Chain A
Amino acid sequence: MRLWYPIFMFGQVLIYALVAGTQVLFLALALYLVYLVSKVVNLALGGIATAVAYGFYFSFVVMSWPVVVCVLFTLIVAAVLGFVNYALNERLTARDQHLFAMITSFAFALSLEAVIPMLFGSDAKSLFTGITQSIILGEYQIPVPGLIILIGGVIIALVASFLYFYTPIGRKLRAISEHHAVAMSLGIDQSRFRLVMYIFAAIIAGAIGILFGFNSALTPTMGFNLVAMAFMALLVGGASDLRGVIVASFLVSVIPELIVGLAGGVSASWRLPIVFLIAVISLLIRPEGLFSKRKRLS
């Protein structure tokens, strides 16, 4: 039996919105992890996502290497970029110059986005030629890359929450986030934690860049659009609150997606301004974050 058309449309748009939300969640989590250990909003992640995706394009499409080699090569690219990002920011972070570190990460992203068109040209690149496979669920369909993002996002959110709240690693992360001087006096090697988090965040960002490439085309400037939504989620959710970041990631994705999908005459390019409007309203009402009770101090 066919569903009533408005319900079908709502469901289909909601599926796409959830995929978009999960994509934002990935990057927001990457931003959150780096913020947790360094108090730096790492704007380089957008540029890293783009660079890693182009690295995959180089190995997979240009060189036609086997998939395992491509994955290894891409992981190395992500790790190297994560390390460079860490090396550029570490001295500033250690001196508590968080805004300087943010500007440095922004400049690093810009330099990556300037180098990519020099190497690969500024036209859009495709990781995949042909029709994207879709999974049919009743009357709804989900593209395979979207499904991978959705499942991966749920797993990552659950694992991150578990690690953060219930394991010694999570406790150390929270300790560094709460008071880095006290954490240092307890023997926690913050510098190593930061290095691991920068590399881990670069790998997550790279994975999203590649999946984005399978969903649509690669362009040198795609990174900023990706990261813009993620740091709106970080702002709305509260940079020190994991639950807030998770909820805000879906909030800033689902609302604009529903407006664009269901309201006639609103093009997809209005997504970001709508997100910005949501962020303005949310920050005016709850500047400290969605669920935070205390005043945000940074």
Chain B
Amino acid sequence: MNEAGTLLILGGASETQGYDCIMQAKKRGLRVWVTDTQEHLENMPQIVNLADHVEALDYTKPKECVLWAKQQEENFVCVFGFREYSTISVAEVSSALDLPGNKPEAVKLIRNKYKTRKFLKEKGFYQPEIALCNNWTEATQFVQQRNKACIVKPVSAMGSLGVTMIQNQSDWEIAKKNLSDFHEQFIVEEFVSGKEFSVEGIFFQEEPCVLAVTEKSIVGNGVFVESGHMMPADLSDDLNLKIHQTVKDVLKSIGLTWGIFHVEVWLDQTDVIVGEIHIRPGGDYIHRMVELVTDIELYGSIYDQVLNRKVNLEAFLIKRGATISYLFPPKGIIKNIKNVEDVKSDKCCELVKVNRKPGDIIGSIQSSYDRSGFVLVKDVDNLHAKKRAERLVQCIEFEIVEI
């Protein structure tokens, strides 16, 4: 038997986080079992090859995961997941195996946007007015009563999927279309007109510890898809600390105590308003940005705690800046994509992904899945990184044929 024990990753077959999540475990002498859907496993042979054991298991189904985990005769010491839809399963399996983790009730709460807002409001945190709607009549009544812009969105989706801003009558048709794939109740809430940030951190000795605040840019004009992230955010010390404290207070009040968190906040003048709360690393390579701006191994810092090993707190300090900028070519058919290799060779460029190819059709931007790729840059500080990322994005040339 392996001395350190085995890490169980629920939903681990992912290109963006799977590799680091596994390698940081192996570095610490952990065996790694990866479970994921059959489809994901088939699409990620490199992850399958890295794992000590692989099993097809639907990470979105907590009961199935618990049943399966209890049947295994393996020395699991930690259950981990970085996918939004795996978080409840991770909490349930950890609880069933009596391993470190969050209480399932706390994770279930944050998976429901409506219940989370209600809970936070009851705890005294400022939250925008919100309604859980069963039909469009309820939604329109909510908006009419307020006479201000509102947001319609699904109860538990992610990646800006199904989100619509309602400013006038014609927006309702767009909202209906955007929500057509979600067969559930939906949320209507007041639009918060602040700048958006996310807060990245880990739990250290069961206390939330903020590592960095990320400044978000969005496409705009009613489209909430993120167009770039800068880390650390360009904030005064006062506001930075205010954001840290609010997020820590919120996480404590919910009862989360373990793992990695990613919390969305708005800054309205000097008021910090907490949005969605996730008990997983930020997507969009934010997890990588955290590691670039600090010296932390994000997943490793969690494993170290599980293994009762010393965590080097000085690695948590921000040492440099990073920016991710997304590619948004104009609408049309891609004829050619140029200069990608030149951008990759830039000394500060960490990663370039272009997920389009000649012949692909570029349409309008509805969700984060409509972005055509990104450039991830690290530099001496945040503003240098941002400037460089913007320049490198401009270097990537899409030849487009208009339709």
Query: Do chains A and B interact in one complex?
Result: no
A residues engaging B (CB < 8 A)?
Answer: none
